[in-house]
Amino acid sequence: MVAQIVSLKWQLLRNGLRRSTPQLVGLILAGLYGLGALGLALSGLIALRFALPSDAARTAIVVGGSAVTLGWAILPVIAYGIDETLDPARFATFAVPRRQLVLGLLLSSLVSVPAAVTAILGLATVITWSRSVLAVLVAPVAAAVAVLTCLVLSRVTSTVFSAMSRSRRGREALSVLVVLVLVGVWAAGSSILRRLSAPGLLPHIADVLGWTPLGLAWSSPADIVDGAIGSGLLRLALAVVFLVLALLAWDALLLGALENPRGTSGGRAATRDTGLGWFGRMPGTPTGAVAARSIISWRRDPRYVTSVTLMVLMPLGLMLPSVTGNGGLWSLAMAPTAGFLLGWSVHNDIAYDGTAFWAHVATGVCGRADRIGRLTPTAMAGSVLLLGYATLGCAVTGRWDLWPAMFGIGLGFLLTGFGVANVMSAFKPYPVPGPGENPFGAPPGSSALTLVVQAVAGTAVFVLNLPLLGIGIGALLGHAWMGWLSLGMAVVLGSGALVLGTWWGARIYERRAPELLADLSRIG
């Protein structure tokens, strides 16, 4: 059964790539990127084999390995979603023993570019620690435990997040939790970077991480090499214990997923007549209809609610340096960050329609109405958030002379982001979680394509705003008039980008509407 689950994962991945050329291209690009990173890392690990003393190797591997383990635990959920090819809920109707299902899903997780790179790097540490016979024997076991810990932690966190996202309160708590995690990572990273030049800091961090679940397995061979055999074996034993506990936790979580795969409740939802709602408040035009539907999706669709909450709250993390008394000027970047995130966020909006996009095609909604209507909820949020964040940033820093510059840069990012998004969403939608699915999920083989499209859209928005950023720096250096200049340029440049992007995106939409529906049917 375990072999069949792994084979099923491989076959589903192959079929998905055969069906979608963009996914295949994305996987190839991800593979090339992974090979490049793998080559650099392997070179470093081989060089550390000859480093004397072995403290440098210990520090690099323990700190780096702990960061990789932490990344597997949080980044697949926060950044690009998790691979839901073999969602445990899909096995609810099959009589698969849970223990075999756990082992099969765990091993099937290796069928991906990130997992393969992590596994190869883990085994490459054997070369680094090949300084004694005992170390050569312990290092492969420690590497296997470390890699499996990465995979299990990823499964545990993704299963917990998936369960939480089934209810509205859970989604709200989940959004706050993700923001707190991001703020914590930001705070820890900023603190370490500020003190990076302090002598002995990284070795001390490695010593601390070496006794945490993140670094136990990575530090075990280092102790063996240094002659602390008892300590090394103890760390390895503790790492195995933590892995077993994580597997038991995942097993318990799978039990809930199999018994209640969709998180439904027995109670009957209360209904009430709310009239036409937003459809009655918006103009009775195609643009108004699209806008009303978009606003309702923002309020009720978990996929929108989660991402919108993150985009609204993430800029607040830039206030942390001000609260701690270091780097207060980061607070000024809240408005530009909010403008960038909100403007860029709708670059794949059409993909969330799925096959329901047929209604747009069947009713002949014109491209201009579709493009403008989809921007309405983001524009409403941006009009409030940019003003609020620009004012808050200046209040925290006391630099009220920079308010025009910060608001102008944020407005520029928002409007140019709208223009780029209007083109990108009509040109190349990429796979997203379906309605009712885990909002942090991702279809198989889509992570690389997602990364490529997001990188193109984000880079385009950033490049278009380089003039505004340059003028904003001038305002930051004390030329107050440049702040007003950046605000004026933001209105002109942003409006031009929005008009041009809407016109271009509308033409693409009207020309490719049937093809877009076919694409959405294929990737849905």
Return the percentage of the chain with pLDDT > 70, whole number. Answer: 71
Give the residue among 308, 327, 309 at the shortest CA–CA distance from 378: 308
Give the residue among 448, 449, 432 at the shortest CA–CA distance from 440: 432
Would you say 22 and 515 are in contact if contact means Cβ atoms under 8 Å apart? Answer: no
* Whether residue 460 sits in one domain with residue 316: yes
* Whether residue 299 sits in one domain with residue 251: no
Task: Quote the pLDDT of residue 499.
Answer: 93
* Whether residue 379 sits in one domain with residue 509: yes
- CA torsion 327-329-334-337 (nearest 10°) is -90
* pLDDT tens digit sequence for 416-425: 999 999 998 8
Q: For residues 455 and 73, give the distance between their C-alpha atoms in angstroms, rounded to a whole number.
A: 23
Which strand (E) or helix (H) includes residue 79?
A: none
Would you say 497 and 422 are in contact if contact means Cβ atoms under 8 Å apart? Answer: no
* Whether residue 245 sits in one domain with residue 301: no
Q: For residues 297 and 523, give the distance between their C-alpha atoms in angstroms, rounded to a whole number.
A: 20
276 located within any domain? no
Ramachandran assignment for 235, one of left (phi > 0), alpha (psi -120 to 50 degrees), beta (any other): alpha
* Whether residue 352 sits in one domain with residue 243: no
* Whether residue 417 sits in one domain with residue 386: yes
366 located within any domain? yes
* Whether residue 339 sits in one domain with residue 229: no
Q: For residues 331 and 319, give the distance between their C-alpha atoms in angstroms, rounded to a whole number.
A: 5
Task: Quote the pLDDT of residue 496.
Answer: 92
9 located within any domain? yes
Q: What is the DSSP letter of 83?
A: E
Task: Indicate if the pLDDT at residue 394 is higher than 70.
Answer: yes
Task: Quote the pLDDT of residue 13.
Answer: 63
* pLDDT tens digit sequence for 201-248: 778 888 888 888 888 888 888 888 888 888 889 998 999 999 889 888
Q: For residues 53 and 59, give the distance between their C-alpha atoms in angstroms, rounded to a whole number.
A: 11
275 located within any domain? no
- Cβ atoms within 10 Å of 171's Cβ, excluding its own: 19
Class of residue 474 by CB neighbours under 10 A (exposed 0-12, middle 13-18, buried 19+): middle
Greater confidence (174 vs 465) lies with 465
CA 25 distance to own-chain centroid: 20
Task: Look over the chain and give the mean of its residue pLDDT values, rounded to a whole number.
Answer: 78
Q: What is the DSSP letter of 274?
A: -
Greater confidence (110 vs 187) lies with 110
271 located within any domain? no
Q: What's the predicted TM-score (pTM) here?
A: 0.59
* pLDDT tens digit sequence for 6-40: 666 666 666 665 666 666 666 677 667 767 777 88
Ramachandran assignment for 364, one of left (phi > 0), alpha (psi -120 to 50 degrees), beta (any other): left
Q: Residue 152 corresponds to which amino acid? A: V
Q: For residues 161 and 159, give the distance between their C-alpha atoms in angstroms, rounded to a whole number.
A: 5
Could you tell me the residue range of the domain that residue 392 belongs to? 282-523
Which strand (E) or helix (H) includes residue 369?
A: helix 367-397
Please state the rounded mean pLDDT for residues 405-434: 87
The DSSP secondary structure of 372-386, one letter per residue, reads HHHHHHHHHHHHHHH
CA 381 distance to own-chain centroid: 22
Task: Quote the pLDDT of residue 273.
Answer: 43
* pLDDT tens digit sequence for 246-287: 888 877 777 665 655 555 444 444 444 456 777 888 888 888
* Whether residue 183 sits in one domain with residue 48: yes
* Placement of tokens 């136990």 in the chain: 216
* Structure-block tokens of residue 132: 């004694």
* Whether residue 371 sits in one domain with residue 480: yes
* Whether residue 100 sits in one domain with residue 56: yes
47 located within any domain? yes
Q: Residue 341 corresponds to which amino acid? A: L
* Whether residue 177 sits in one domain with residue 80: yes
Would you say 339 and 414 are in contact if contact means Cβ atoms under 8 Å apart? Answer: yes
Class of residue 18 by CB neighbours under 10 A (exposed 0-12, middle 13-18, buried 19+): exposed
pLDDT band at 498 (very low <50, low <70, confident <90, very high): very high
* Whether residue 507 sits in one domain with residue 399: yes
Greater confidence (180 vs 86) lies with 180
* Structure-block tokens of residue 479: 């030329």
Task: Quote the pLDDT of residue 411.
Answer: 92
266 located within any domain? no
Count of domains in the chain? 2
Return the percentage of the chain with pLDDT > 90, whole number. Answer: 9
Give the residue among 202, 166, 182 at the shortest CA–CA distance from 57: 202
* pLDDT tens digit sequence for 41-77: 888 888 877 766 667 888 888 888 888 888 888 775 5
Give the residue among 187, 237, 188, 193 at the shortest CA–CA distance from 211: 237
* pLDDT tens digit sequence for 453-466: 788 888 889 999 99
245 located within any domain? yes
Would you say 100 and 1 are in contact if contact means Cβ atoms under 8 Å apart? Answer: yes
Q: What are phi and psi of 218, to 5 degrees?
A: -70, -30
